[in-house]
Homo-oligomer: A and B are copies of this chain.
Amino acid sequence: MAKMRQILIIGNNDNGCTPELEKTAYDAGKHVAESNSVLITGGLGGVMKAASHGAKDGGGLTIGIIPQDDASLANEFCDIVIPSGMGLSRDFLNALSADGVIVVGGGSGTLSEICAAYMYKKPIATIKNSGGMATKYADQYLDHRENVKIIGFDSPKDAVDYILEQTKS
């Protein structure tokens, strides 16, 4: 099948983001692009924007799936925008659209996406020292079902390599 590998990067929106998190997300996005995978994000600010920026600088393709029904609200680094109009439940759409997931920092919205990805048994990697949910859930199962272990990595490159390994055709 023609389908490209689709990798989701999740994490803080502008609220709660820092220059370090942006750098981490940028690097992760760039590595995704360099692997010829499509980068998917929630299309807004913070980690989502930085990752998309990195993917564009890496020559890749970016998709932003946003909560609103207005595509102009997506960040400027999205080649394609899905204005879901679903509000925050678009977190599930992000998880479903992902072959694998990378977590950078993150608050409750990110946790919601982790839950969805976990329930759908997608491989999940976190940058374990990036704080927030990425740190909190590194190297754990989310619950008793042990669907998939969330693995923590020290660097964006290692996290991306792990996801590429897990999503080889």
Q: Given A76-B1, A143-B107, A143-B108, is A116 in contact with B97 using a C-beta cutoff of 8 Å? A: no
Whether B69 lies near A120 (C-beta < 8 A) is: yes
Whether B119 lies near A109 (C-beta < 8 A) is: yes
Q: Given A2-B78, A92-B87, A96-B83, is A108 in contact with B118 using a C-beta cutoff of 8 Å? A: yes
Answer whether residue A85 sits at the interface, using C-beta atoms and an 8 A cutoff: yes
Cβ of A108 to closest chain B Cβ, rounded Å: 5
Whether B144 lies near A16 (C-beta < 8 A) is: yes
Number of identical protomers: 4
Whether A77 lies near B116 (C-beta < 8 A) is: no
Whether A111 lies near B115 (C-beta < 8 A) is: yes
Cβ of A78 to closest chain B Cβ, rounded Å: 6
Whether A107 lies near B63 (C-beta < 8 A) is: no
Whether A96 lies near B82 (C-beta < 8 A) is: yes
CA distance A15 to B144 in the complex (A): 9
Whether B96 lies near A69 (C-beta < 8 A) is: yes
Using CB atoms and an 8 Å cutoff, list the residues of chain A in contact with chain B. 1-4, 6, 15-16, 38, 56, 61-63, 65, 69, 71-72, 74, 76-89, 91-93, 96-97, 107-109, 111-112, 115-116, 118-120, 132-133, 142-145, 147
**Nearest 8 A/B pairs, CB to CB:** A107-B143, A89-B92, A112-B115, A85-B87, A108-B142, A108-B143, A1-B76, A108-B115
